Amino acid sequence: MIRKLLAPLFFLASFLLHSQNVVWKTNMNDAIRMSDEQRKPLLIFFTANGISKSIQNEVFATSDFIDWSGKNVVLLKLDLSDSSISDDEKEQNVKLKEALGIEDLSQVCLAKAFIRKNIPRIDKLGLLNYKVGGAKQWISDAKIILDGE
């Protein structure tokens, strides 16, 4: 009897783990609007093709990050090599990268985002790079930046 119960339970647990994915916004305007509505800061991940996937595999793909990010930030991923976006959107993303002082890819910027009088605004809180230490250490570093706002 226990074996009969364990098999479906194992299948269900496996399904739930795989369905627990991080949802990244890829449009800056949508992310700003969501950040303003939810009153959560933005976590902006700047990346491009050919860049190390360490932060994505060792931080963003973990259950610790998924749980923390869902409660605390709006995720925005700006792939500066994305050929599917318009030239205007590419230019907007590059200008944001420069305005926030992003020098290395991949890099994360934590920022407050809000809309006042129909004008979107982003205020940089701090930058985070990937460091060896895993998701818990990375989240701890992010909390220090967010708590300093």
pLDDT the model gives residue 52: 86
Which pTM was predicted? 0.82
The confidence score (pLDDT) of residue 76 equals: 97
pLDDT in tens, 85-131: 999 999 999 999 999 999 888 899 999 998 899 899 999 999 998 88
C-beta of residue 122 within 8 angstroms of C-beta of residue 96:
yes
DSSP letter at 85 equals S
CB under 8 Å, gap of 24 or more: what pairs does 52-55 form?
A: 52/106, 52/130, 54/130, 55/106, 55/108, 55/130, 55/138
Q: What angle, 0 to 180 degrees and rounded to 10, lies between the N-to-C axes of helices 63-72 and 134-147? A: 20
* Helices 28-38 & 87-99 angle (0-180, nearest 10): 60
**Domains of the chain, first to last:** 21-147 (3.40.30.10)
